[in-house]
Amino acid sequence: MLLGFMISTISSMAGIAGGVFMVPLFYFLGLSINEAVGTSKFVIIFTSLIASLNYLKMKKTPVRQGIYILIGMIPASFLSAYYMDILNSTVLKLIVSMFLIYYSSRLIHSYYTSRRPQVDPQKTQREISISLTKSITVGIVSGFIAGLTGTGGGAINMPLFLSFLKLPIHTAIALSVFTIFPSALVAAIKHMVANEINYAIAIPFIIGVIIGSNIGPRISTKLSRQKLKLVISIVLIIVAIRMLLTTMYPYNLIK
């Protein structure tokens, strides 16, 4: 319960699903890698749903843009499964992890070089430019890379939302959480059918998640853009390091 609370609070603040923390945790608690992933996806349903409802209540989520992104993301994530044997996912993982480290270092540099800790106010929902083409393109890229590398969609979403779509950081977080829920639901159903979810671990974890996913968005909306940059950069670096380690040392060789 405590770990569920901590992970969901951080994840909902940073716009990611939390799988980067849960999968290795569940694996080293004794689950098989398939069970660890399946249990993580089941928990993420609750993390993303509750956090998303909170951001929607706070009017931080551009729903129309989220739907455009999902139009590209959902088919791309399914399509990636057919290319796993054709494309070298190891090389792609290395490229993505290097990109995440580079992007995170940029965010950290921006945080420490900013002379004004409190920057200009966030754009309102009406001021955010929503492009159908750009949103669908980002969804395709995010869904395809996430599906091919096994990386959580949030880790791919955040750099794309901030750099390519030029969204304010609070909006990017809310939108990322919004788009994670449908893919997590589909993935969890697949693992349910395959009996790859450990409910004895998942249920108490979800109790903590329910609390953390309500608190995380409230903390996020109260933090300045610069402080959120630091939080996101740290989380993305953890994602990148985990991807590098699992690429060089697969789970079945570690245990």
Mean of all residue pLDDT scores within the chain:
84
At residue 125 the predicted structure's pLDDT band, cuts being 50, 70 and 90, is low
Predicted pLDDT of residue 123:
55
CB-based contact 230:80 (threshold 8 Å)? no
- Non-local CB neighbours of 9 within 8 Å, separated by 6+ positions: 212, 213, 215, 216, 219
Predicted pLDDT of residue 8:
93
Specify burial of residue 34 (Cβ count, 10 A radius: 0-12, 13-18, 19+).
Answer: middle
Of 229 and 109, more confident: 229
Of 238 and 122, more confident: 238
Q: 35-63: per-residue pLDDT in tens?
A: 888 899 899 999 999 999 999 999 999 99
Least Cα distance to 147 among 134, 156, 158 occurs for: 156
Q: 190-213: per-residue pLDDT in tens?
A: 889 989 999 999 999 999 999 999
At residue 244 the predicted structure's pLDDT band, cuts being 50, 70 and 90, is confident
CB-based contact 17:216 (threshold 8 Å)? no
